[in-house]
Amino acid sequence: MKKCCIFDMDGTLFQTNLILEPALEKTFNMLRGQDLWNEDTPIEKYREIMGVTLPTVWKTLCPKHSNETREKSNEYFHKQLIALIKNNEGALYPHAEKLLMTLSKDYEVFIASNGQEEYLKAIVETYDLEKYIKKVYSIQTVASGHKSELVERVLKENQITSGYVIGDRSSDINAAKDNNLIAIGVEFDFSQPEELEKANYIVKDLREVLEFTL
């Protein structure tokens, strides 16, 4: 019987907060330079919605802008994020690598994230996580944009019968429940208490995940 641990990336394994503000600031400076923005950078608004799909992100941040402007903003934003990652200005959460190493001995470990493929690839390669993770799944690969469908794809493609989803937002918890997996919520930077209420377990330190998986 195959078992898995499916991790979210942003706010779960990777400290996105370290690169979020500078990348977002550069993006909105770009918009200001094109006379498309004249307000403060909506950093707090992005923190509130962190974990939603990218179309929702840019509709929320730039509600009055065209789809073309939103798409260009998203593209520029991700280029900034990737550059910051490759420049080692981000970081994994404490104990993340050791957790992945330990779990990979007994579980097939996957990433299922709302992040874009190149962004996720940059994190995995920069922190040399390939040796622990069997495959990375981006929300870009499912037309619905729903995390539950993405996790379902992980299970079907790898013939998984049981396991865990570890994440910080309601989409992660719901994805676990919808696929009959155990949900572990992490109380980190972007998590909201009400979004983790349905989790089977909640941790404040990644080392605590091992208490429920081993």
pLDDT at 1: 64
Q: What is the pLDDT of residues 140-163, one digit of tens each?
A: 999 888 999 999 999 999 999 899
Asked if 212 contacts 184 with a C-beta cutoff of 8 angstroms, the reply is yes
Pick from 5-19, 55-69, 84-98, 111-125: least confident: 55-69
> What's the token pair of residue 54?
């990218």
Q: Has this prediction a pTM greater than 0.85?
A: yes
pLDDT at 55: 78
Measured distance between the N- and C-terminal CA atoms of the chain, rounded to whole angstroms: 16
Asked if 37 contacts 196 with a C-beta cutoff of 8 angstroms, the reply is no
Instruction: Give the Å distances, CA to CA, from 17 to 96, 102, 123.
Output: 16, 26, 14
Q: What is the pLDDT of residues 164-213, one digit of tens each?
A: 999 999 999 999 999 999 999 999 988 889 999 999 999 999 999 999 99
